[in-house]
């Protein structure tokens, strides 16, 4: 059963630009170089059949609040509220995908508790990138051999996937696994991360059939996710 739709308020593009870190920089949530239009996903020809019982939806998500009332603009940008419950955008998409496929979910979390203040989180994300950090994670995927297919999601932070995702891809063995990627973002799509992950996982089958959704379109996420899942059949 799909989660009920609900309200969510988004900023205008002009308001988003206020979140930038300078003329040549981008917001934590993914405002970056112009995004190329995403081609409609084609049914898979080389990937194995997606069996929900053998599929894991893994995601990294940092909602900046768990309080649905009185959100700041930054908090609204990072969250989606359903029946009074606050989800991170990437988390909500993961929930829709897992329910649609009957798959398991795994949340990718850092060992260190992350700051929820927007500016502090931006500074941390930039420090990680500048130092090419590999933040420690709470755990690797348990029982990874139980799954054939992985759908892996993350927000776009500063033109790239968050640095904890590098840790995640390096510490888990995806040899001979089918890997699908999705992102939530401002306007940046996958921002080159498909190529990055394909290079990082040379022994995996990383699909070009990806999914991405702007934070401005989260109210349409149930329908959009459903359409994409249909391409996996």
Q: Report domain extents, the chain.
A: 49-230
Q: 100-114, pLDDT tens digit by residue?
A: 999 999 999 999 999
For the CA atoms of 200, 188, 76, 182, the dihedral, rounded to the nearest 10 degrees, stands at -40
CA atoms within 13 A on the CB side of 223: 4
pLDDT class of 201 with cuts at 50, 70, 90: very high
For 66-124, the pLDDT digits (tens) are 999 999 999 998 999 989 899 999 999 999 999 999 999 999 999 999 999 999 999 99
Q: Quick one: pLDDT at residue 44? A: 47
How much is the mean pLDDT over the chain? 84
| Token pair recorded at residue 103 | 């798959």
Please enumerate in sequence order all residues whose Cβ is within 8 A of that of 125, keeping only pairs 6 or more positions apart, or say none: 28, 157, 158, 162, 163
Q: Are 125 and 98 in contact (CB under 8 A)?
A: no
49-230: what CATH class? alpha beta
- Integer CA distances (angstroms), 221 to 28, 94, 179, 185, 215, in order: 21, 11, 21, 13, 9
Read off the pTM. 0.82
pLDDT tens sequence across 16-28: 333 333 222 234 5
**Could you report the per-residue pLDDT of 48-58, keeping only the tens digit for each?**
899 999 999 99
What's the alpha-carbon Rg for the chain, to the nearest Å?
Answer: 17
The first and second tokens of residue 102, run together, are 């009957």
Whole-angstrom distance, CA of residue 38 vs CA of residue 16 = 21
214 CB contacts (<8 Å, ≥6 apart)? 184, 185, 186, 187
CA atoms in the 13 A half-sphere facing the CB of 149: 23
């Amino acid at each position: 059963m799909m989660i009920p739709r609900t309200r969510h308020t988004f900023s205008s593009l002009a308001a988003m630009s206020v979140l930038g870190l300078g003329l040549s920089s981008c917001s934590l949530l993914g405002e970056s170089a112009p995004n190329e239009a995403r081609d409609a996903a084609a049914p898979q020809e080389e990937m194995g059949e997606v069996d929900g019982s053998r599929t894991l939806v893994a995601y990294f998500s940092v909602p900046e609040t768990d309080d649905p009332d009185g959100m700041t603009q930054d908090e609204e940008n990072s969250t989606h509220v359903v029946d009074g419950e606050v989800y991170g955008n990437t988390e909500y998409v993961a929930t829709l995908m897992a329910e649609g496929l009957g798959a398991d979910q795994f949340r990718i979390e850092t060992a260190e508790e992350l700051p929820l203040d927007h500016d502090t989180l931006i500074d941390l994300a930039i420090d990680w990138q500048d130092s090419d950090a590999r933040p420690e994670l709470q755990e690797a995927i348990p029982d990874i051999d139980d799954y054939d297919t992985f759908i892996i999601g993350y927000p776009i932070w500063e033109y790239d996937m968050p640095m904890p995702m590098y840790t995640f891809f390096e510490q888990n063995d995806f040899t001979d696994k089918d890997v699908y990627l999705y992102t939530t973002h401002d306007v940046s799509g996958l921002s080159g991360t498909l190529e990055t992950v394909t290079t990082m996982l040379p022994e995996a089958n990383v699909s070009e059939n990806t999914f991405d959704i702007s934070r401005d379109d989260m109210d349409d996420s149930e329908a959009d996710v459903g359409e994409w899942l249909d391409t996996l059949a």
